[in-house]
Amino acid sequence: MPSFAYIAIDLKGNSLSGVTEQPDRATAISAITKQNLRPVSVQETKEKMTSSKMGNMLGAGKIKPDQLVMFTRQLSAMVGAGVPLLRALTALSDHVAESPLLKKILVGVIHDVESGATLGDALAKYPNTFNDVYVNMVRAGEAAGILDDILKRLALQQEKSTTMRKKIKSSMAYPLVLLFITAAAFFGLMLFVVPQIGKILTDLGGADAKLPGITMAMLAVSSFITSYWYIIFLVLGGGVYGFLRYIKSPKGRYQFHYIILKTPLIKTIVMKVAVGHFTRTFSALIEAGVAVLEALNVTSRAVGNAIFEEALIEAEAQVKIGKTLSSVIAANPLFPPIVSQMLLVGEETGQTDTVLVKVADFYEEEVDRSIEGLSAVIEPIMIVIMGSMVGLIAASVMLPIAGLAQTIK
């Protein structure tokens, strides 16, 4: 979009200058005039660092969820107290010391709003910070004149999502630590302990000593790891990098999510998380006044699973030709029956947003219980794996020693 540098005079006779992005010069003049300014000079500038480009550059970073929640709550409180939007944004940008990136983003947002853009359009230039759900709810709030209320709902929704993510991470932390310790112990034993044990056994029994098969296998694995450890780590690192690159591609992401939904234990949690995201996000958009088709489109990109995303896009197409959302959801085995039943109740009573919030609360509680159950299963499995590894190495050492002792007798 073209940028126009302008010089204008305000109501007090002061001269002001700035830059605005508008489709053409006439629209730029109109936007300047709406700010109670009298344009003196409006000229299209050469392509430089516009706010949209700055948004793409700043979008490379990430704002912490807690910081975004705090910003949303503070902006809601200020707007609800009657503080003009520009003054509220300026005050928040002046006091965001803990996040320089958020401060830079707010400067760009303020510039766009000063140039006549809506808050929703200004936030849309920073998709890595303000996602589709956030932007669409803000736009709906501006259109309905209930921006402060919408921001409160957004903050609540973000808090719920952040809490769920934290619970998942904290529940999986202990099993992951055990997995890391197991891998580190295995490589440590293979690189440093087993070679020394092999040397001792060779010294005791001689070069032609007949060792048990389990001991020979352990020594062979240790010898391979000791000789080619750098290749092993390069292959592991390359495999992890390639896997991460693959699952970021559309095809790889779809296949990975498909496999997850077929994996025992994990598939139940993933399904409940996706249904919780769908019901909470869709209900928030409907409550904000977003049209059903648009809400489905936005929710499909926010649900976090490619299989559910495809299902919601298909649901959008079916609703577009006249089918009810509840009937479409009922026909899809991905969604539990309670979702379609509650949707049907919401469609009949006109309270879809209210009933879906209850479904979201229910599934978020179910996710908590499922994660606790999964952790309870994974922890003993990891302990058994660690014990088995230590026992295997101990057996590979003790068996030849026992054999040598019998030979000596």
Q: Tens digit of pLDDT for each residue in 287-334?
A: 878 888 888 888 887 788 889 989 999 999 999 998 999 999 999 998
Q: How many whole angstroms separate alpha carbon 406 and alpha carbon 393?
A: 21
CATH number for the domain that contains residue 398: 1.20.81.30
Q: How many whole angstroms separate alpha carbon 358 and alpha carbon 353?
A: 9
Note down the domain range covering 26.
3-48
My answer on whether 22 and 76 are in the same domain is no
% of the chain beyond a pLDDT of 90: 12
My answer on whether 71 and 162 are in the same domain is no
My answer on whether 323 and 277 are in the same domain is yes
Please check whether residue 311 is in contact with residue 332, taking contact to mean a CB–CB distance below 8 angstroms: yes
- Decide if 135 is inside a domain: no
My answer on whether 24 and 103 are in the same domain is no
Give the list of residues 6+ apart from residue 377 with CB closer than 8 angstroms, or none.
Answer: 265
Q: How many structural domains are present in the chain?
A: 3
In one-letter notation, the amino acid at residue 280 is: R
Q: Is the pLDDT of residue 49 over 50?
A: no
For residue range 194-253, list pLDDT tens digits in order: 888 778 777 776 666 677 778 888 888 888 888 888 898 899 999 999 999 998 888 898
Tokens representing 166 are 């934290």
Average pLDDT over residues 327-352: 90
Helix 147-188 vs helix 132-144: crossing angle, to nearest 10: 170
Q: How many whole angstroms separate alpha carbon 195 and alpha carbon 222?
A: 7
Average pLDDT over residues 399-403: 74
Strand, coil or helix: 132: helix
Question: Among 76-85, 237-246, 378-387, whose mean pLDDT is lowest?
Answer: 378-387
Q: Say if residue 288 is exposed, middle or buried (CB neighbours under 10 Å; 0-12, 13-18, 19+).
A: buried
- Decide if 62 is inside a domain: yes
My answer on whether 37 and 65 are in the same domain is no
My answer on whether 89 and 120 are in the same domain is yes
Q: Is the pLDDT of residue 59 over 50?
A: no
My answer on whether 125 and 268 are in the same domain is no
My answer on whether 254 and 401 are in the same domain is yes
- Decide if 356 is inside a domain: yes
Q: How many whole angstroms separate alpha carbon 84 and alpha carbon 72?
A: 15
- Decide if 322 is inside a domain: yes
My answer on whether 154 and 255 are in the same domain is yes
- Secondary element (H or E) of residue 4: strand 3-9
pLDDT-based confidence at 132, cuts 50/70/90? confident
pLDDT-based confidence at 15, cuts 50/70/90? low
Q: Is the pLDDT of residue 61 over 60?
A: no
- According to the model, what pLDDT value does residue 207 have? 60
pLDDT-based confidence at 16, cuts 50/70/90? low
Higher-confidence residue of 152 and 18: namely 152
For residue range 111-126, list pLDDT tens digits in order: 888 888 889 888 888 8
Task: Please indicate, yes or no, whether the overall pTM of this predicted structure exceeds 0.75.
Answer: no
pLDDT-based confidence at 14, cuts 50/70/90? low
- According to the model, what pLDDT value does residue 255 have? 92
My answer on whether 279 and 167 are in the same domain is yes
- According to the model, what pLDDT value does residue 50 have? 46
My answer on whether 180 and 276 are in the same domain is yes
Q: Is the pLDDT of residue 254 over 50?
A: yes
Q: How many whole angstroms separate alpha carbon 270 and alpha carbon 104?
A: 35
Average pLDDT over residues 117-137: 85
My answer on whether 266 and 299 are in the same domain is yes
Higher-confidence residue of 255 and 8: namely 255
Please check whether residue 291 is in contact with residue 136, taking contact to mean a CB–CB distance below 8 angstroms: no
pLDDT-based confidence at 57, cuts 50/70/90? very low
